[in-house]
Amino acid sequence: MDKSSSLQNSPNPVYATLDEWIKQQAIAFSLDSASSLDACVDRIMATLDPSLKLLGLGEALHGGEDILMLRNLLFQRLVEKHSYSAIAVESSFPRARAVNEYVAGRGPSSYDALREAGFSHGFGRLEANRELVEWMREYNADDGHRVKLRFYGFDSPTEMMYSDSPRQILYFVLDYLASIDSVGAQEQRLRIDRLLGRDSDWENPAATMDPEKSIGLSPAATALRIETEDLIAQLQVRRPELVAESGENRYLEAMQYAALARWLLNYHAALAKKSDPGKRIVQCLGLRDAMMADNLAYVVSQERSRGKVLAFAHNSHLKRGRAEWQLGDNALAWWPAGAHLHEIFGRSYAVFGSAVGVSESNGIGRPEAGTLEARLIGTPGPGRFIPTHKGQGLPASEIAALPIRSASTLNSTYFALTPQSLVDFDWLAVLDHAKYARGGPQLEQRG
């Protein structure tokens, strides 16, 4: 047996250099060749733990067309050959319910009717998301497919620069209770309505950076948090009755909405706290990622008897280690959803990170010599998967000395690979090039 075969077959390979690791372990694929990508996916899935329930695919930046196409093709293969029944994307949890209705053949008659209401962050405008949703709808329309696919969002109910009013989420829970006990739910609705006030006060964009503009700690908001706790307690106390009347799935969905209302009110309260700006922002970022993890745990529980789940979001949300962001003078760090998911699911959670070599339309030039991206795209492509072994068996001194490539000049959501990436992800998916996403907002030149 030659050295190459020995390294590839060893469960715990050891490499003298990073270049040796890349040469021996990188698996080439092309997005233009379904057969090459399918073979890669099948090979990789065979290496993951048999208990796997949730697979994450991170994106190195928002607005990478080729990463979105990789996601679509990956999900199709996972559905067709590996018993996946659902995808969850970085978009508002409550909004995605409309998309799932469409995927199931119900609700709106066209994608255009839900592309704004069904997604947060403007992600419904991305053509790759349209293609994903339309493929899922066509798949479900085929009577030969016994297990129908589901679409979820797992992000918090927030936008880029403001947080949603809790009205929609609380109304969902109240509507559920009204379907069983209309009189009792109406009394609660009246109390909650008086406390909600105007949605525009909750959704004031100025509150994101100025706690004086937030109503999250007002007397009404504080009373609303108590009402929400009472609502959750009622759902829990009445569980036998409610499940018998509505079925377990509807009950659990209402419970998740109630829990999300609690999270959102805590988020608004954090926005209103007069503290050091960096500390305040970190608390909000941490709350958002904790919400994401909680939503994904719910999604996995819903799919447990049907199949496995693919989660798609920015690398920074799905990684296992601490998320870091330099915002002006503030060096921010918090625990992302992936760190929570690792604690919740253990080996039943695996995650792929992604990286790109060059993306001129995203302001990402060729990576500097010696960086991890430069080394990885130096192997056959145009795409390749590579197992990180969570950093084990790789030369520690060489990893520690890795230079970090330059940031993007156009897209602030781009994060380069670092030595920590080799610990945070199980595999890396590295593309030579990435165009800007079709349908994405215009990028502005950064100074």
Beta bridge partners of 383: 29, 431
Same domain, 46 and 118: yes
How many structural domains are present in the chain?
Answer: 2
Check whether 13 has a pLDDT greater than 90: no
Indicate if 132 and 163 belong to the same structural domain: no
CA nearest 295: which of 413, 155, 129, 431? Answer: 155
Q: What is the pLDDT of residue 184?
A: 83
Structure token pair of residue 363: 């302001």
Q: Which of 259, 274, 289 is the last residue of a domain?
A: 274
* 188 shares a domain with 255: yes
User: Which tens digit of pLDDT belongs to each residue from 103-130?
Assistant: 999 988 999 999 999 999 999 999 999 9
For the segment 374-396, what is each residue's pLDDT rounded down to a tens digit?
Answer: 999 999 999 999 999 999 999 99
Asked whether residue 21 falls in the same domain as residue 145, the answer is: yes
Task: Provide the pLDDT for residue 115.
Answer: 94
In terms of domains, do 250 and 266 share one?
yes
Residue 350 lies in a domain: yes
Q: Are residues 17 and 151 in the same domain?
A: yes
- The answer on 111 and 78 residing in a single domain is yes
Mean pLDDT for the stretch of residues 275-296: 93
- Predicted pLDDT at 162: 83
Is 331 in the same domain as 411?
yes
Same domain, 19 and 148: yes
Closest C-alpha to 255, from 223, 221, 287, 294: 294
Question: Is 50 exceeded by the pLDDT of residue 428?
Answer: yes
User: Do the Cβ atoms of 423 and 391 come closer than 8 Å?
Assistant: yes
Average pLDDT, the chain: 94
Long-range contacts at 297-303 (CB < 8 A, ≥ 24 apart): 297/341, 297/344, 297/345, 298/252, 298/256, 299/86, 299/88, 299/152, 299/154, 300/53, 300/54, 300/345, 301/252, 302/86, 302/150, 302/249, 302/252, 303/85, 303/86, 303/150
Same domain as 241, residue 315: no
Alpha-carbon 2 to chain mean position? 41
- Is 2 domain-assigned? no
In the structure encoding, which two tokens stand for residue 180, read together?
């069983």
Q: What is residue 1's predicted lDDT score, i.e. its pLDDT?
A: 40
In the prediction, which pLDDT does 232 show?
Answer: 98
Check whether residue 129 and residue 171 sit in a common domain: no
Let me know if residue 336 belongs to a domain: yes
183 and 121 within one domain: no
Using CA atoms, how far apart are residues 154 and 338, in angstroms rounded to an integer? 12
Domain end among 274, 291, 321:
274
Q: What is the pLDDT of residue 32?
A: 96
pLDDT one-digit tens code per residue, 154-205 = 999 987 778 999 999 999 999 999 999 888 889 999 999 999 999 999 999 9
pTM: 0.95
